[in-house]
């Protein structure tokens, strides 16, 4: 690593329980800066799934390249923003906050649809937005000092799985959201093949992996009511692609360490090709989304 990374052991973010059971271990197989395998664990009391131990908040920037938020204003992303906007009610003079707004591209898309909205964005890992009609703060949401009952709509697209303390964010959202205001967010599904078997969670950037149960627990605790949960693969592909591939690779002795050092035999590579072929056929459609097992959950909440 460019710098020494500090790690911390944590208790469950929701219930505070310190006991957990191990689900699996996985390295950062995107950046591959070393072969450390992060444990993904499940709380024995409430079932919340999280990385433990994990990099501290101060060390986490080592896992976010400088260009992490760049190039999100392309036609491909505009298609995603169009789908995202479909989960929001029709806006007029609403005050809108996007948590984890990156460079502000989704908010800018919304402003083009609804010119009269008052747009705010916060992002700890982005040094600014690309548009002067967005009120931006380069801070944690908990440090932004927004007023109580300030926002009509709050969104967070693939953000809460990156947080070190989701409970604090759920509490803050409830505090600054107006009565009957909407909170719409996307997280990854811990109970999917995507999350459990295909190793598709972006470890260690995805520190928490949620389920309908854990999200219901947070909502109930913080005065939010879940109106709708949608399993939708149009925003990101939440299929379990890789489930068969990794199963066969493990069966024939391919470890994460062997991947890191590229010590995979020609026979093991052929087994991997077979696994990929099976995956392409098994996950050809989006049957997981129809069965509410996709790796992507979009949640619509209202403040009671």
Q: Is the dihedral of CA 151, 153, 157, 162 positive or negative?
A: positive
Predicted confidence (pLDDT) per residue in 95-140, tens digit = 999 999 999 999 999 999 999 999 999 998 888 999 999 999 999 9
Beta-sheet pairing, 151-157 with 95-99: parallel
Domains and CATH numbers, the chain: 7-63 (no CATH), 75-237+287-303 (3.40.50.150), 243-282 (no CATH)
Helix, strand, coil % over all residues of the chain, rounded to 5: 30, 25, 45
- How long is the chain? 304
Q: Is the dihedral of CA 196, 200, 205, 206 positive or negative?
A: negative
Predicted confidence (pLDDT) per residue in 226-264, tens digit = 999 999 999 999 999 999 999 999 999 999 999 999 999
Question: Is pLDDT of 26 > 60?
Answer: yes
Q: Hey, which bits of 139-288 come out as E strands?
A: 151-157, 177-188, 208-209, 224-230
Predicted confidence (pLDDT) per residue in 159-174, tens digit = 999 999 999 999 999 9
Question: Is pLDDT of 69 > 80?
Answer: no
Residue pair 298/191 in contact by the 8 Å Cβ criterion: no
């Amino acid at each position: 690593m460019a710098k020494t990374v500090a790690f911390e052991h944590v208790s469950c973010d929701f219930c505070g329980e310190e006991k957990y059971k191990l689900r699996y271990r996985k390295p950062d197989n995107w950046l591959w800066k070393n072969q450390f395998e992060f444990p993904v664990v499940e709380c024995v009391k409430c079932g919340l799934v999280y990385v433990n131990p994990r990099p501290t908040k101060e060390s986490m920037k080592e896992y976010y390249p400088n260009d992490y938020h760049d190039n999100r204003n392309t036609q491909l992303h505009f298609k995603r923003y169009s789908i995202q906007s479909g989960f929001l009610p029709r806006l007029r003079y609403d005050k809108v906050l996007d948590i984890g707004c990156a460079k502000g591209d989704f908010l800018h898309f919304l402003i083009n649809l609804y010119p009269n909205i008052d747009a705010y964005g916060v992002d700890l890992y982005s040094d600014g937005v690309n548009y002067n009609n967005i009120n931006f703060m380069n801070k944690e949401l908990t440090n932004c000092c927004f007023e109580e009952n300030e926002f009509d709509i709050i969104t967070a697209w693939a953000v809460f799985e990156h947080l070190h303390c989701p409970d604090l964010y759920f509490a803050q959202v409830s505090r600054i959201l107006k009565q009957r205001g909407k909170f719409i967010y996307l997280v990854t599904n811990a109970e999917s093949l995507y999350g459990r078997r295909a190793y598709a969670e972006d470890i260690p950037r995805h520190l928490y992996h949620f389920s309908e149960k854990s999200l219901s627990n947070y909502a109930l605790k913080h005065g939010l009511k879940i109106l709708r949960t949608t399993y939708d693969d149009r925003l990101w592909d939440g299929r379990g692609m890789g489930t068969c591939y990794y199963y066969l690779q493990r069966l024939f002795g391919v470890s994460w360490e062997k991947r890191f050092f590229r010590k995979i035999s020609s026979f093991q590579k052929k087994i991997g090709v077979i696994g990929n072929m099976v995956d392409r056929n098994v996950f050809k459609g989006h049957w997981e989304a129809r069965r509410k097992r996709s790796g992507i959950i979009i949640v619509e909440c209202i403040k009671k």
